[in-house]
Structure formats: C-alpha cells, structure tokens
Structure 1
Amino acid sequence: MSDRVINCIEDLYQMLDAAVQLEHATIPPYLTALYSIKTETNPEASAIIRAVLVEEMLHITLAANVLNALGKHPDFEAQDFVPSYPTYLPDGESEFLVSIDKFSSTTLDTFLQIERPSKRGPQLDSELKGCVKRSNHHVFELKAVKPLKSSTYSFYSIGDFYEAIREGIEYLEDQANRKGETIFIGDPRFQVSNRYYYSGGGEVVEVFDKTTALNALELIIEQGEGHTHQIFNEQGELSHYYRFQQLKLGQYYQTGDSPGHPTGQKFEVDYKNVYPVKCNPKVADFPEDSELKQAALQFNENYQAFLTTINRAFRGGQEDLIGAVCGMFRLKECASQLIRNPLPSNPLMNGGPTFEMRYDSISVKAKSIKTWETA
C-alpha cells in the first residue's frame, strides 16, 4: 500500500473540494462567536476572531485557485457543502464536535482544537502520514474526512490534511512531467488575484504551476497552525492557533516568546458580556410566524446568496469577490435580530443564526440573491 493519500487526479480533486468545504466550515462557528460578543466589550477577542475570519476567506480563495488551476471549479452551492452543526472536522485525536455557539471558554477550546499544530512523528499510529485511525468513521459529515483508501482514518490536523495535498501535487505533477504533460491545465482566466480580493489578511497567490500551488498551500498552513510550531511566521504574523491561545491565556505574544508562554501585554476576557445564544439552533426551534423565525429564514437566505456570489467569483466572475468579505460581516445586521432576542420558550436563552441552506426551488435561490444585492 502506498503511504500517499493522493494517487490519482481524482483523489486530488476530491481533497481540494474538501479543502474548500473545510475552510468554509469554520466560518459559521467563528462568525457566531463574534456576533455574540456585546458591543464595546471584549475588544481583544473581537479583533482576533475577525482577523481569523478574514484569513479563512483568504484560505478559501487560495484553495479555490489551486483547484481552478487543475481544471476543476469549486462548488459552493452543492447540497452537502454547508454541514449541519454540530459537525466533526477531520482533525481530532479524540473526536470533538464543532458547534455554532456563543463566545465562551468552551468555544475557545474548540477553536484551538480546530487550528492545532501537527503532531509529526511516531505518535501517529497509522500507515498514512499525518493520519489517525478511527473506529467511528461513519459520524463524519464533511467530505474532508471521507476515506480515499481506508475506512478507518482521518487527519490529525488541518496542516496534515494540506501536507497530503502538497505531496499529491508533487507526485502527480512529476508523473505528468515524465510524459511531457502537466496537471495544471486550468484556464488562467479563472484565477482570483489581488485585483479582485482585498482583505488585509494576506496576499492572494495566483496558481499556474506546481511552484505557485505549493506556495498557496504553504500560506494556508502557516496562517492556520503555524509552521514547524513557530509562533510568528517570516512576516512577523501570528498563526490562528497562537492568536486564539492569546485569548485563552489573557496575554499577547511578542517576539522571542516560546509557545504557551506569552510575555506581552495582559488583558481580560469577559465571558459574561456575551449574549446567551442557543447552541446549534435550528429554524424549527423558533415558533411559527414569529419574528425570530422570520429573522432566521432571512439570515439563511442572505448567507446562501453570499455563497452564490462566491461561487460566481470562482467561475469567471472575479469582480463579485471584491465586496464579499465586507458582505460577510454585514450579515451581522440580520443575525443581531436573532442573537439579541430571547426565545419565547426560554427567556434565558437567545436565538442565533442556523446556517441551514435550502435547495428545494430555484425561486428560493433567486430571492436570496436579490436580498443579498439589496442588503
């Protein structure tokens, strides 16, 4: 058995489709936690979560550029693209659920699990590098953890997941080059560049060949878990894992610090100044004909339209991406109607966005697009 996860171009397509889905799957939990923080409180937490969200959008863009460079488009409108929360992500030595929930110490622990660094070496008992064996693989919903060659493994970290993609690209491109061919057959016109993307979260890498593809994937790994367990990258920026760890420890990292031991300015995280959002709410939780239910449906329509806009951007409509990041944060106006109002059945608990997409009719999609464009 090969120790590679990716052995043919179809494997690589599946993994990159999964990468786009995986990066997106972190956005609803991060957005909800950000929305739940009361205005003018917890500035450190708000700033850090917002910065991570912006970079997650960059990671989606980078993964989509790699996929487009290989001649295949990502599909943000696929019916299984948005998972039903709570859901499992591919990393988790002892499995953990990712929920849509308010900002809390428990939520923060989950964010650290999502972004945790790789655990290289013999600690991972598997025939596949970066993977751990599972006895309950059936519980996973995301395509990112669907087995390619074994029904009993998943990746220990998101970084390990991307390392498998990198190794697959190098292997398949080498095989193609030996025949005088290349796997990078995509139309360059579908590449998103910095001309169409601005977020302050880093530079977009346009992908045309193996070198640029590996550069794009390296940026995702560095911004997420960090590179070789270093706190700061070459540009002096913190990875997501260590940004979240600052909130857990109540102190900023500064140059020269070692992991787990920040020496910068201290600050307080106030978990009490957070709206009591219901964990993993569903539209069905809200009474019929109630304002909460209408707000939940409106939010979902707007979010689905956001995904439709992103889908167009990676299929030749790059200009649609220009305002997408700002639009993502504009969703807060609709989410606030849910987050700031108690449930009629439980006054001590508030509503929240459900991120439930509808695919039952073209009219729903058309309505959501119209709603988004006029928001």
Structure 2
Amino acid sequence: MKKAFAQNPAQHERGISVTALVDYRSNRIVQLMQEPVERRDAAWLRDSLQQAVLLELATLPPYLCGLWSIKDPVQDEGVFNAIREIVFDEMSHLGLAGNLLTTIGGFPHLADERTAPAYPGPLPGGVRPDLTVSLSGLSKNSLDMYARIEEPDHPIAKADTYTSIGAFYSAVLAAFREHPELITGAHQLIRNMSGHGQGNTIVAIGSLADVEAAIGVIKEQGEGTSASPENPHHGDTDEMAHYYVFREIYHGRKLVKTAENPDRWEFVGDPIPLPRCLPMATVPPGGWGTTGAAAPDAETRRLLDEFNQVYSEMLRLLESAWKADLPATRKDLLNKAVRQMSGLQERGPTLMERPLPGGSGETYGPEFRYVPV
C-alpha cells in the first residue's frame, strides 16, 4: 500500500499507528476507505482504528456541553438521562475502539495538539465534510448537529445518501474477518459499565467473536439496526439509538411505529419539551482567547485554563493506560483518568454560569483544548 505519510522505524517496531503522525483535520478515513479490499492489511487496520478512537473522542465534548447546559436535571429528567446515557455509551465506544487497536499491536495516540479534537471543526478523517462540529449549550441547532454526527446511511425515519461512521466500522470489521490472526488480546483496558446499558462494559478483545461483538455495540447503539431504530444494547427498555434520540428531542416528539409490514416510524408520539438551558455561546476558533470582545476576565480565564489542564491530563492518562505493560498499572491509570473525567463534570457547568461581556445574555463554556505539559 502506498503510504501517504512517513513512518519512523522505531514507531513501526512499537506498533504505533501511522495515523499518530496525521493531523486531526486530515482526510485519512476517506483515504483508507478508498483502499482496495485486498490492501486492507495490518497497517490499514491500525490506521483505521486510530481514526476510530479519534472519532469516538470527538463526540464527547459537544455532547457533554449540551448535557451540562441543562438547568434542572430533575425537572427535565427524561432528556437529561437520555443524553447522559449517550455520553456513557460514547465513553464505552472509546474504550472498545482503543482495545481493538491495542489487540493488533497499535496504541491510541490521544495526547497531542495535532490529534486532539479542535472546535469548531470537522469530524476526524474527512467523515461528513459538510458538517462543522462545535461546542455550545443544548439547542435545536446543537441537536441537529448531534444527529448528523450519528446519522446512518439509510435512517429508518429519514433518507440520506451520506457515508456514515457505521459504514467505516463495517469496513474495519471486514478487515478483521480477513485477518483474525492479528488479534492478540494485548494491552486491554477493562471497566464494568453494565449499569449504563447492555454491552456498555469495556471488555478485552481477544478473539474475532469479541471484535464482532464490540463493533456491533458501537454501530447499533449509535445507528440502530437496519430493521429498527431501537437500541438493542439499551439501558432502559425501548431506548432508541443515538441518532433517533437526538431527532426525538429535536422534533419534540417520541418516535413511534405507526405501521407494520412494512414498518413505518414517525415522530408523532408523546411530547418531549426542550429543556431550559444555560445559554452557553458557541466557542470560537482557538477558544475564548485573551483579547477581543469575548475575552474573559482573569478569573474566568483561570477556570478555562484549569478545565483544559484537567482534560489534557485525562487524555495523557488514557494514552498511558493503554501503553502500560502490567494489568495493575493499566487499571490504576484508567482509574486516575476516570477521576479526571469527574473533575471535568465539576468544572464545566460552572463556566456556563459566567456571562459573556457585552450584555448578550450568553455565557462562556468549556473549550476542551489540549494543553501540552
């Protein structure tokens, strides 16, 4: 396979993906999907799974901003819990994607300004190039963006022609089926997350059956199946796949089956009121900065920087956990990363309560910027 990017021999020996050298804003997934099937070898899989890790990470900051902006999680419990479960699903998907990469000798590359997501910006790898992913509070616009991230090739309740993230995972699974000998079960992270839904536990990938199960969870929780919009790996009964949950909240109605043989689903069920939310403005390119109309005061800048530092340390800990040789070390580093995630949850809503200058009524919010040590 012709390499679009150079690879350092030392990195090759350690099994680090070529994609570790590729900018987050590259079109690497598009390039990978254009490779003939017969050339989708071990290097192709490592590249693809590094991109999969970046895709899963990229969804978390926008979804978290929407979740944290909900003013009253008790009053708006239905919407809050629905988005919260999606966030936990995506965390699980990130863990499974990392395990899929390490089981074939690669290591997730997360802690770098070139590979960490940058907002506003595209999804990694050239997926859905017409979509700009941004950080803001929950609104009709953000819900539409969330749904477009998760959209299947052929949604049951809406037709479209875009190539989906699910199609990319299908290509990855096909390559695993051609090369099951690559699966080693090495450097796996394990965490029980069964309380958030069937299939949500981050499990070790040691066989082709494990690969198929993991990719099935990732695809079906996000898109549903070709026969139903329901999430087959649900936490609550009748839980929809992510795409349809976001569309339900957007339309303000539950999605229900209105006909059978063939099945027809429409957004005509019970009302879903849009929650009252903190008016977090869209984070501008490069963050809120230090000068200009949106420049924060010293205390807000301190809080923003502190959030970015906690986020960056979380990424470093996750990367280190997958690279650690001893299971006990991997578990300890993963636990530390989870504690950093809790630190983000404590700080994010606080930033959304700090008003922007100028009297617009909008507020600041997290930047999710990677900061090197």
TM-score higher than 0.5: yes
- State which of 20, 41, 45 in structure 2 corresponds to 1:8: 41
Structure 1 pair 53–259 and aligned structure 2 pair: CA distance change class (3 A): farther
Q: CA offsets per residue over residues 341-364 of structure 1, 9 Å max, x none?
A: 1122454221111111122xxxxx
Q: Residue type matched to 2:278 in 1?
A: Y
Q: How big is the shift at 1:101?
A: 1.2
Q: How big is the shift at 1:2?
A: 6.2
2:315 paired with 1:307: yes
SS at match of 2:53: helix
Q: What are the within-5 Å matches in structure 2 for residues 180-329 of structure 1?
A: 182-187=181-186, 190-194=187-191, 200-201=196-197, 202-235=200-233, 237-253=239-255, 260-262=265-267, 264-270=269-275, 273-281=276-284, 282-284=287-289, 287=295, 290-316=298-324, 317-322=330-335, 324-325=337-338, 327-329=340-342
Per mean C-alpha deviation after superposition, the further-off stretch among 40-49 and 321-330 is 321-330
SS at match of 1:252: strand
2:95, 2:223 → 1: CA distance? 18
Runs of at least 5 residues in structure 2 that lack an aligned partner in the other structure: 1-33, 325-329
Aligned to 2:116: 82
Q: How big is the shift at 1:172?
A: 3.0
Aligned to 2:12: none
Q: CA offsets per residue over residues 247-294 of structure 1, 9 Å max, x none?
A: 123233468885642565433114xx2222121241415547611111
Q: Which has the higher contact order (CA 8 A, sep 6+)?
A: 1
- State which of 178, 189, 207 in structure 2 corresponds to 1:171: 178
Identity of aligned residues (%): 27
2:201, 2:79 → 1: CA distance? 24
Q: CA offsets per residue over residues 115-145 of structure 1, 9 Å max, x none?
A: 111249xxx9xxxxx9x8xxxxxxxxxxxxx
Structure 1 pair 260–96 and aligned structure 2 pair: CA distance change class (3 A): farther
Aligned to 1:156: 163
Q: Residue type matched to 2:183 in 1?
A: F
Q: Residue type matched to 1:30 in 2?
A: Y
Aligned to 1:179: none
1:96, 1:83 → 2: CA distance? 14
SS at match of 1:261: strand
SS at match of 2:118: coil
- State which of 322, 339, 354 in structure 1 corresponds to 2:352: 339
Question: Are the counterparts in 2 of residues 23 and 56 from structure 1 also a CA contact under 8 Å?
Answer: yes
Aligned to 1:98: 133
Structure 1 pair 323–232 and aligned structure 2 pair: CA distance change class (3 A): farther
2:99, 2:219 → 1: CA distance? 16
Q: How big is the shift at 1:239?
A: 1.1
2:100 paired with 1:66: yes
2:32 paired with 1:32: no
Q: CA offsets per residue over residues 167-226 of structure 1, 9 Å max, x none?
A: 1212233xxxxxxxx212352xx222345x565242333211222112111110011111
Aligned to 2:6: none
Aligned to 1:135: none
Q: TM-score, normalised by structure 1?
A: 0.75
Aligned to 1:53: 87
